[in-house]
Copies of this chain bind each other. A is one copy, B any other.
Amino acid sequence: MTRTQALDELVTANRILAREGVVDSFGHVSIRHPDRPDRYVLSRARAPECIEVDDLMEFSCDGTPIDAAGRKPYAERFIHGAVYHARPEVRAVVHHHSPSVIPFSVTNATLSPVMHMCAGIGTRVPTWDSHATFGDTNLLVTNMEMATELAAALGDRPVILMRGHGCVVAGLSLRETIFNSIYLQLNADLQLKASGLGDITFLSEGEVAAVLRTRGAFTFERAWEFWCRRAGRPYDARAMDGPLAGA
């Protein structure tokens, strides 16, 4: 993948999250820099639905812009750097405030997969509460100290909630991370509905492990084509017909 393709896909990822209602004016998605693993790429501070390639900036893992060129960065960019620093295998990070997910961050109800497509969120998603260490703040993760604690709480999981705020999703590819962001939202919707009907049978740990073990890139690709169409973004059909098709 060329650098141009990578940036185009990051724009697409922003538009997809907006189209699917995972983000509104806030929330952001980054990729680890394709050539410089100590950097990440993230838009300037702008609503995801509006982002263009020229909005994309490079940052070092401590959140310093490489060449800001007058562009204002997100105040919470530190979340991304802290996760990339703590998790060398992670290639993409999303921070979002999905209205389906927030209710689970402010109650004792614990998100856990209720269907196979949502297994990627991991069993018993934890919640990080900034208040425990940092007290009364505006809840924004605006420095490396807070971001490092959040990344430590995330550990090697794919998802962590943030009390009264949102969540972080980290994954091995941009497609996987967008996929898990959207299915996290769906799982929250499903679990909320199911909790009104009675006790819930969640996926077993063995089932979650089996889904993750057998899921291939093709699953993410199929969803990516669909979401591109809904977001009005071009999709390179060769990806579906190429080597992935045999995966």
Q: How many copies does the complex hold?
A: 4
A187-244 CB contacts (< 8 Å) to partner B? 189-190, 192-204, 206-207, 209-211, 213-215, 218, 222-223, 225-227, 229-230, 240-241
Q: What separation, in Å, do the CA atoms of A210 and B203 have in the docked complex?
A: 39
- Give the most central of A45, A166, A190: most B CB within 10 Å: A190
Instruction: Establish whether residues A207 and B136, one from each chain, have CB atoms under 8 Å apart when the complex forms.
Output: yes
Cβ of A124 < 8 Å from any Cβ of B?
no
Q: What separation, in Å, do the CA atoms of A226 and B50 have in the docked complex?
A: 7
Q: What separation, in Å, do the CA atoms of A193 and B189 have in the docked complex?
A: 10
Q: How far is the CB of A216 from chain B (nearest CB, A)?
A: 10
Interface residues, chain A, with chain B CB atoms under 8 Å away: 24-26, 45-47, 49-50, 70-72, 97, 99-100, 102-104, 106-109, 113-117, 119, 131, 135-140, 163-166, 186, 189-190, 192-204, 206-207, 209-211, 213-215, 218, 222-223, 225-227, 229-230, 240-241, 245-246
Residue pairs across A and B with Cβ atoms less than 8 A apart, 24 shown, are: A25-B225, A46-B222, A46-B240, A47-B226, A47-B229, A72-B245, A99-B190, A99-B193, A102-B190, A103-B114, A103-B193, A106-B114, A106-B202, A107-B198, A107-B201, A109-B198, A116-B138, A116-B139, A116-B140, A135-B206, A137-B207, A138-B207, A138-B211, A192-B197
Give the 8 A-B residue pairs with the shortest CB-CB distance, closest first: A136-B206, A47-B226, A103-B194, A25-B223, A109-B197, A116-B139, A107-B197, A103-B193
